[in-house]
Chain A
Amino acid sequence: MVERKTTPNLSVNLAGIVSPNPFWLASAPPTNCGEQVMRAFDAGWGGAVWKTIGDPIVNVSSRYSSVDWNGQRMMGFNNIELITDRPLEVNLREIAEVKKRYPKQAVIASLMVESKREAWHTIVKQSEDAGADGLELNFGCPHGMSERGMGSAVGQVPEYTEMITGWVKEKARTPVLVKLTPNISDIRVVARAAKRGGADGLSAINTINSITGIDLDTFVPRPNVDGKSSHGGYCGPAVKPIALNMVQQVQSDPEAKLPLSGIGGVSDWRDAVEFLLLGCGNVQVCTAVMHYGYRIVEDMADGLANWMREKGFANISDFQGLSLARVQEWKHLNLNYKIVARIHEEKCIGCELCYTACWDGAHQCIHLDRAGQSNGHHATPAMHEAESKQRISMTPIPKLDHATASKGKEPYPTPLSRIPRVDEAECVGCNLCSLVCPVEDCITMEQVETHLASQSWEQRTSGAATLGRKND
């Protein structure tokens, strides 16, 4: 009998907060109220960071804007919303109710109050009394709240971060996470401050200062609030690379490293795996849920479990942080590693995007000369286009065209004249052509043997390099 592998265990423990899976809702509109959070848990979310509570504020109307890209909506998302606008008692009552009905899922209270010790002590006690499994200190909100000395106004000053984290820790009985702002030149500095202040864990990143766009008729940036706008916080798929980099920085810094909840552009299970591979203990999601609803968690969990099964991981901790060691400073990269582009002719559809990309955006080493084109090897894109313009073409009408000779047989689905050729001797292995190619695996980057031992920039400049041939 085939031994059936058991379902991978998706449960996680982040700084002492346990949840049935690593998918939490980030503190934002999807966690505004108890009714929503309960529906989210029904859909399968493992935890929810409540929409930041504190002294209720007044929001403006017209709050969001987005960046669409090539017909896809909301590649990037932006908001000028403040923290919760609901009374504190209501939020606390609903936290208590959710916790009672959903004991297994994690409920984390996100907090932001004015920078006074008593104020923080009070809200910490209230949240924990309501049953929160942990606390997240919102030192990241980049708009509005920061003008009032809260949010990123705290998160941008290491001393404040350390001090307030310290106040919270004086009182807190549950784990304390500090949510970091990316609007700072080195995120490690504040992460270290939070750690010094006694934080049990971190969350990163909050939203990035942004102006998403301007209406070209009214000249008012979006979102338009009665003829004016304000910078907002940027999130969604567009910010994932920035978030991953910041996560890596924090996780690779011994003075900053703490259990980390990864946030920023997580939209599917693959994004989540990437954050986990860089050492995060779980992930939080906002924009993707605002776009498609709670139901997306089903495939997040399913996709993650299938991937883990395929890779033979039984627990999330089996692969957590696996990629961290793979991120190094540039000076440690091997200068003698060489790859070149290879075009798989049978897959090529003849769009020639690699050709124009290499000519205009790289190193002029892809050519259109396979069919012995008249202008040959060093023809520029403009020369090719000019030649085509001169060609006379007609609607093929079989009855009128019987005389036309049948063409010789082409070896590939695309005519040879349209399949570009890589001059491997000139190719620097930059990847550009393989990135622009619309067809999967049509251009692969293949390693070529240089017969040179590995040598980094640091080794080369320190003179410690072993020049010459590698002994096999």
Chain B
Amino acid sequence: MSTGNKYEENPEVTARFPDIHPPFDKSGATIEANRCLYCFDAPCTAACPTHIDVPRFIKKISQGNLRGSALTILDANILGASCSRVCPVDVLCEGACVYHRYNKQPIEIGRLQRFAMDAFYRNGAVLAAKTTERRAGKVACIGAGPASLAFAAELRQRGFSAAIFERKPLPGGLNTYGVAEYKLRASDSLREIDLIRELGVDFQFGRNISGEAALAALEREFDFIFLGVGLGKIRLLGIPGEELPGVVDALKFIEEYKTGRNLKVGGRVVVLGAGNTAIDAARAAVRLGAQDVQIVYRRDESSMSAFLFEYEHAREEGVKFRWWTQPVKLVGDEKKISGMECMKVEMDGQSFRHLPGSHFTIPCDMVISAIGQSPLLEFLQACRGVKLENGRVSVDRATGQTSHAKYFAGGDCVNGGREVVDAVADGKRAALAAAQLLEKIHG
């Protein structure tokens, strides 16, 4: 099988997407670490989905035990390095910091976490196995996104065998292909995954698992199967002109710039949707040279699903927002899109009402659709005995086990699309439950 992971960083991408949160230097980190109160049963730890012992790792930074700090982080969260950069900390750990009630800035937990993890990588990045035994018991993961990585790494560290089947050439899922480059470089995501490979997790790339037969084969070979497939493509717009050249799926757009395959954006860009993905796509378009970037949304900022800080950053970068606007038709010829016909809407109770006579056209050269990902229904329905609910895999929250005893699941395919750290937490919880069962099965 392909070993994957041949990845060359594109200098142009690096230049256009510089780090948004520059790292701490040593004295900055020490001063910030010393500000932490070392709360008992700390609320920041409770708010972190992976329950990283935040005061413990911060105290270790202030005391110069950087390896201990990194291992404290990794023990709870194997993707501690990428999480430190991509987590929406304002609504997670930092949002829960007691300093908010103390009229002071919360502790910069994310940046401190990054400081410890950067030091870990600088010093050779050696992960401690939790046991040296190689034990009977094999698991397979479908998809090499954060959820599967956490699941496989935890079981591998406990001595079980783990294989990951991924359809793409590189591991990491959206952490590698989707997260904005100024937060996390694809190369940093891959570097982190090398650690998991070194634990002895078997990565198989270019393996698109589909259909009952393929699943049945896995069921025969492995004790448990973990579904970490994430979500699918962006939903269709369902309006005429959708197939015109210049109309792209936000995920594809982001993946293409991150992998350096397409770095040219010119002219006027319209982004549809108002979630974090829409914001990421819009900001990327600005950085890639678009003259004008507008986000078009049929409600207003109060019902936008993007985090407030993401919205504010986008505005600072020059992205414009057009509220109460619904696209009705994309216009252009077979070579190129030229505009988007819209109309104004308003809320009438729970539904939208079109404002008569409000039709207008936004001239544009590119439309990026970011109206939300659809579930991978076709694949999931082939997992027979695995119950779905609204297109999401339904699991026991504490164990990640599905209605089919052989299947566990976690990440976006279960929670409907949250964050990397949620996927890691799901994967890890499931791994702990699976480990208990494997011990029972194999003694």
Among listed A78-86, A140-148, A390-398, A452-460, interface-contacting one = A390-398
Taking CB atoms and an 8 Å cut-off, the chain B residues in 92-120 that contact chain A are 92, 98-99, 101-102
Taking CB atoms and an 8 Å cut-off, the chain A residues in 326-354 that contact chain B are 349-353
Query: Smallest CB-CB separation from B305: which chain A residue?
Result: A399
Among listed A1-9, A35-43, A125-133, A380-388, interface-contacting one = A380-388
**Inter-chain contact A395/B49, CB cutoff 8 Å:** yes
- B91 in complex: contacting residue of A353, A356, A395, A413, CB < 8 Å: A395
A214 at the interface (CB under 8 A from B): no
**What is the distance, in angstroms, from B88's C-beta to the closest C-beta of chain A?**
6
- B417 in complex: contacting residue of A353, A368, A390, A400, CB < 8 Å: A400
**Inter-chain contact A351/B416, CB cutoff 8 Å:** no
Taking CB atoms and an 8 Å cut-off, the chain A residues in 349-388 that contact chain B are 349-353, 355-356, 368, 381, 384-385, 388
Taking CB atoms and an 8 Å cut-off, the chain A residues in 35-62 that contact chain B are none
A70 at the interface (CB under 8 A from B): yes
Per-residue A-contact encoding for B26-37, CB less than 8 Å = 1, 0 else: 000011011101
**Inter-chain contact B305/A355, CB cutoff 8 Å:** no
**What is the distance, in angstroms, from B89's C-beta to the closest C-beta of chain A?**
10
**What is the distance, in angstroms, from A403's C-beta to the closest C-beta of chain B?**
12
- B43 in complex: contacting residue of A356, A381, A398, A418, CB < 8 Å: A418
**Inter-chain contact B305/A438, CB cutoff 8 Å:** no
Interface of A is mostly: loop
**Inter-chain contact B46/A393, CB cutoff 8 Å:** yes
A467 at the interface (CB under 8 A from B): no
- The distance in angstroms between the C-alpha atoms of A391 and B398, with both chains bound, is 9
A227 at the interface (CB under 8 A from B): no
**Inter-chain contact A400/B34, CB cutoff 8 Å:** no
**Inter-chain contact A355/B91, CB cutoff 8 Å:** no
Interface residues on chain B, number (Cβ under 8 Å): 38
- The distance in angstroms between the C-alpha atoms of A396 and B49, with both chains bound, is 10
Taking CB atoms and an 8 Å cut-off, the chain B residues in 377-427 that contact chain A are 397-398, 415-419, 421-422, 425
B328 at the interface (CB under 8 A from A): no
Per-residue B-contact encoding for A9-32, CB less than 8 Å = 1, 0 else: 000000000000000000000000
- B421 in complex: contacting residue of A71, A395, A398, A438, CB < 8 Å: A395
**What is the distance, in angstroms, from A178's C-beta to the closest C-beta of chain B?**
41
When distances are taken between beta carbons in the complex, the residues of chain B under 8 Å from A388 are 41, 45-46, 51
B38 at the interface (CB under 8 A from A): yes
- The distance in angstroms between the C-alpha atoms of A356 and B422, with both chains bound, is 30
Taking CB atoms and an 8 Å cut-off, the chain B residues in 173-194 that contact chain A are none
B39 at the interface (CB under 8 A from A): yes
**Inter-chain contact A398/B48, CB cutoff 8 Å:** no
> Contact size class for A?
20 to 34
- The distance in angstroms between the C-alpha atoms of A79 and B101, with both chains bound, is 42
Taking CB atoms and an 8 Å cut-off, the chain B residues in 10-67 that contact chain A are 30-31, 33-35, 37-41, 43, 45-49, 51, 62
Known contacts A70-B34, A394-B418, A395-B88, A351 near B305 by CB under 8 Å: no
Query: Smallest CB-CB separation from A397: which chain B residue?
Result: B418
When distances are taken between beta carbons in the complex, the residues of chain B under 8 Å from A400 are 415-418
A115 at the interface (CB under 8 A from B): no
- The distance in angstroms between the C-alpha atoms of A356 and B237, with both chains bound, is 56
A414 at the interface (CB under 8 A from B): yes
When distances are taken between beta carbons in the complex, the residues of chain B under 8 Å from A71 are 30-31, 33-35, 62
**Inter-chain contact A391/B46, CB cutoff 8 Å:** yes
A389 at the interface (CB under 8 A from B): yes
A465 at the interface (CB under 8 A from B): no
Per-residue A-contact encoding for B269-282, CB less than 8 Å = 1, 0 else: 00000010000000
Known contacts A352-B40, A353-B39, A384-B41, A394 near B101 by CB under 8 Å: no
Known contacts A381-B40, A392-B397, A393-B46, A349 near B416 by CB under 8 Å: no
**What is the distance, in angstroms, from A155's C-beta to the closest C-beta of chain B?**
38
- The distance in angstroms between the C-alpha atoms of A71 and B63, with both chains bound, is 10
- A394 in complex: contacting residue of B31, B39, B40, B422, CB < 8 Å: B422
**What is the distance, in angstroms, from B276's C-beta to the closest C-beta of chain A?**
9
When distances are taken between beta carbons in the complex, the residues of chain B under 8 Å from A70 are 34, 62
- The distance in angstroms between the C-alpha atoms of A438 and B36, with both chains bound, is 11
Query: Smallest CB-CB separation from B87: which chain A residue?
Result: A395
Query: Smallest CB-CB separation from A216: which chain B residue?
Result: B64
**Inter-chain contact B305/A395, CB cutoff 8 Å:** no
When distances are taken between beta carbons in the complex, the residues of chain A under 8 Å from B422 are 394-395
- The distance in angstroms between the C-alpha atoms of A273 and B225, with both chains bound, is 72
When distances are taken between beta carbons in the complex, the residues of chain B under 8 Å from A184 are none
Taking CB atoms and an 8 Å cut-off, the chain A residues in 394-451 that contact chain B are 394-400, 413-414, 418, 438-439
**Inter-chain contact A389/B40, CB cutoff 8 Å:** no
**Inter-chain contact B48/A393, CB cutoff 8 Å:** yes
**What is the distance, in angstroms, from B69's C-beta to the closest C-beta of chain A?**
16
Residue in B51, B92, B101, B429 whose Cβ sees the most chain A Cβ within 10 Å:
B101
When distances are taken between beta carbons in the complex, the residues of chain A under 8 Å from B30 are 71
Taking CB atoms and an 8 Å cut-off, the chain A residues in 149-197 that contact chain B are none
When distances are taken between beta carbons in the complex, the residues of chain A under 8 Å from B62 are 70-71
Query: Smallest CB-CB separation from B39: which chain A residue?
Result: A351
Per-residue A-contact encoding for B216-253, CB less than 8 Å = 1, 0 else: 00000000000000000000000000000000000000
Residue in A384, A395, A396 whose Cβ sees the most chain B Cβ within 10 Å:
A395
**Inter-chain contact A395/B419, CB cutoff 8 Å:** yes
Known contacts A70-B34, A353-B37, A393 near B98 by CB under 8 Å: no
**Inter-chain contact B305/A350, CB cutoff 8 Å:** no
**Inter-chain contact A393/B49, CB cutoff 8 Å:** yes
Residue in B35, B99, B102, B397 whose Cβ sees the most chain A Cβ within 10 Å:
B102
**Could you list which residues of chain A lie within 8 angstroms of chain B, going by C-beta atoms?**
70-71, 349-353, 355-356, 368, 381, 384-385, 388-400, 413-414, 418, 438-439
Q: With A351-B40, A393-B46 given, can you name 5 additional A-B contacts, CB distance below 8 Å?
A: A351-B37, A351-B98, A392-B397, A393-B51, A395-B91
Those 10 A-B pairs whose CB atoms lie nearest each other, nearest first: A71-B34, A352-B40, A356-B40, A351-B39, A399-B305, A349-B101, A349-B98, A395-B419, A70-B34, A351-B37
**Could you list which residues of chain B lie within 8 angstroms of chain A, going by C-beta atoms?**
30-31, 33-35, 37-41, 43, 45-49, 51, 62, 88, 91-92, 98-99, 101-102, 275, 305, 397-398, 415-419, 421-422, 425, 429
Residue pairs across A and B with Cβ atoms less than 8 A apart, 13 shown, are A71-B30, A71-B35, A349-B101, A352-B41, A355-B40, A388-B46, A390-B398, A394-B49, A394-B425, A395-B88, A397-B417, A400-B417, A418-B43
